[in-house]
Amino acid sequence: MGQNLILNMNDHGFVVCAYNRTTSKVDHFLENEAKGTNIVGAHSVEELCAKLKRPRKVMLLVKAGDAVDNFIDQLLPFLEQGDIIIDGGNSHFPDSIRRTKDLADKGILFVGSGVSGGEEGARYGPSLMPGGNPAAWPAIKPIFQAIAAKAPDGAPCCDWVGETGAGHYVKMVHNGIEYGDMQLICEVYQILGEGLGLSHDEMADIFTEWNKGELDSYLIEITRDILKYKDTDGTPLVTKIRDTAGQKGTGKWTAIDSLDRGIPVTLIGEAVYSRCLSSLKDERVRASKILKGPTNSPKFTGDKKAFIAQLGQALYAAKIVSYAQGYMLMRQAAKDYGWNLNYAGIALMWRGGCIIRSAFLGKIRDAYTTNPELENLLFDPFFQEATAKAQDAWRTVVAQAVTVGIPTPAMSTALNFYDGLRHEMLPANLLQAQRDYFGAHTYELLSAPGKFVHTNWTGTGGNITATTYDA
Ligand code: 6PG
């Protein structure tokens, strides 16, 4: 990743100094990939800092966590006031908040930048989400915007996100959404295979078609290619891969953060839990032998073509809900931290270069450009109409999957969220009554919000109330 970013910067006319603590890697890079370029190397942190123009701009691409702090500690003796440290790893945003503050106290400008797009993105145009100390932005803007991917209209997929941990926060939500998109596609894959009995080539054809319309996205595109890919014996390689999902933690951070902020980001939560369930392979193998499924056949028997069209609609609608939830979370975090997030700008940053890049993000950008204060993405007229149009198909798909016993945790939680959100009245009135009944936790009347009262429901519970507070 680091090497590719350096080569990308070199392509755009910037002179870069490469450093790795394993110095032989620097030499190998200079003698091979970087041969004939303007890239220079350093064998020590001191040499690296001595070679950089002031203000120095040092970009770290190391494992999130202690490694970042250790590297910063090594750099500090050789840096001067006004120099810039950029952390381009997948750091947890509270660390970036802390580092921005601690380094500002030392006169160093810290930037925590999300970098998305994998190896190829780094080489030819990643999506970059920089945040931290805004005083650093004018110095790094020309480099970042030059090397970033470009949206179809030519705009760079990189802009200043906000102060302190905002860049890494937005990258965290990006990754959470990435988990959600991937899980939704995997649910569709299981329905197409287990439910409809389609071959991998037939599935690849469906993804090829979907990639020409509203679902056009990088993840749909690579899924098509994966489904087509054959092992040396001619069978689709994907069928030989052990069904236990790995995770490096950014999706989990998003889900935990949503719980902390009280924002129902249910689809990402289900995507994380689905990876956890997949990892319980041995237990699932045992369960598969003893737990009964529905008496109906797990095969779908209706009009396959019509059902596949409904599946595409269900995928699209669930995806809209997932992005709506992600934006709800960013909105709340922006309030909590005083960040002035540009929601249209974030959609543009995700429009190209990153893993969740899609045509659909152009519509999100339009929604927030028209109304930067949009309360919920689902309230935007385009998305209102899109979900209204897709919802019957979505309900059919979820109902069918439930009937034949194929799990659709992300797709169905999205539908439940949609139905919950559109209900003026939820059964939480009963829940409040229950809490008050057994614990005197009090409740508000619809006619007097903000005024907490208690009822002595049994006549023996007393009139003393518990303290009223919300966690
Ligand atoms: C990106 C990706 C990347 C992420 C990997 C692996 O934007 O380029 O989000 O940052 O680390 O996709 O993530 P998991 O191991 O958690 O799936």
For the stretch 165-202, pLDDT in tens is 999 999 999 999 999 999 999 999 999 999 999 999 99
CA–CA separation, 318 vs 324, rounded Å? 10
What is the helix, strand, coil percentage profile of the chain, to 5? 60, 10, 35
Phi, psi of 432 (to 5 degrees): -65, -40
The answer to whether 293 and 405 are in contact (CB under 8 A) is yes
433 CA from centroid of ligand 1 (Å): 44
Mean of pLDDT values over 56-71: 96
Phi, psi of 352 (to 5 degrees): -140, 160
> How would you classify the pairing of strands 40-42 and 17-19?
parallel
Whose CA is closest to atom 17 on ligand 1? 247
Q: Is 340 annotated as a binding residue?
A: no
Which of 119, 127, 173, 178 has most ligand 1 atoms within 8 Å of CB, for mutation?
178
The answer to whether 41 and 17 are in contact (CB under 8 A) is yes
Alpha-carbon separation of residue 85 from 61, 96, 164, 235, 358 (angstroms): 11, 11, 13, 48, 31
Predicted local confidence at residue 1, as pLDDT: 86
For the stretch 71-94, pLDDT in tens is 999 999 999 999 999 999 999 999
Ligand 1 atom closest to residue 182's alpha carbon, by position in its atom list: 17
Nearest Cα to Cα of residue 128 among 334, 350, 323 = 350
Domains of the chain, each with CATH number or no CATH? 1-160 (3.40.50.720), 171-422 (1.10.1040.10), 426-470 (1.20.5.320)
Q: Is 90 annotated as a binding residue?
A: yes
Predicted local confidence at residue 298, as pLDDT: 67
Identity of the amino acid at 292 = K
Does 252 participate in catalysis according to the annotation?
no
CA–CA separation, 236 vs 120, rounded Å? 24
325 CA from centroid of ligand 1 (Å): 19
**Mean pLDDT over the full length of the chain:** 96
Q: Which of 171, 252, 319, 363 is catalytic?
A: 171
471 CA from centroid of ligand 1 (Å): 31
What's the pTM?
0.96
For the stretch 403-441, pLDDT in tens is 999 999 999 999 999 999 999 999 999 999 999 999 999
350 CA from centroid of ligand 1 (Å): 14
